[in-house]
């Protein structure tokens, strides 16, 4: 079975031992790909523990939202996957609105928001 596990995280991930590879290598599957969300507005998240689920809000006063350019980035990345016929088996993301939006706009499959990928919101 060929598959690629696709994960969107709020955290920046830098591989310890990255190697260069060609896009064609991804077609064989077996990779876990991490993306940060697409371009978001500048500013800060409110991080107010008294506001329930502020990180899931569409209110830019509470949490940063994707910019127009960020939405285009997400669509373009998804198109690149489809154009190169790279199969994505699973799409996980954090509960932050900007990561859910990024994953959804990529249109690579059903998006599952996971609490354990949302450490900044829960204080983990």
Flag whether pLDDT at 78 surpasses 50: yes
Residue 8: pLDDT band by 50, 70, 90 thresholds?
very low
Task: Name the β-bridge partners of 35.
Answer: 8
| Residue 21, pLDDT score | 67
List C-alpha distances in Å: 72 to 4, 25, 101, 106. 23, 25, 11, 9
Chain segment 9-62, per-residue pLDDT in tens = 333 344 545 567 677 888 888 888 888 899 999 999 988 888 999 999 999 999
Strands 5-8 and 90-93: parallel
Report the SS3 class of residue 111. Answer: strand
């Amino acid at each position: 079975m060929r598959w690629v596990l696709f994960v969107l995280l709020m955290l920046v991930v830098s591989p310890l031992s990255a190697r260069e590879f060609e896009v064609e290598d991804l077609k064989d599957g077996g990779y876990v790909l991490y993306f940060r969300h697409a371009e978001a507005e500048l500013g800060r998240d409110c991080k107010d523990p008294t506001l329930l689920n502020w990180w899931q809000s569409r209110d830019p006063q509470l949490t940063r939202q994707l910019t127009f350019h960020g939405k285009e980035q997400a669509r373009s990345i998804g198109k690149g996957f489809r154009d190169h016929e790279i199969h994505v088996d699973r799409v996980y993301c954090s509960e932050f609105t900007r990561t859910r939006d990024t994953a959804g706009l990529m249109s690579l499959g059903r998006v599952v928001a996971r609490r354990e990928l949302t450490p900044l919101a829960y204080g983990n």
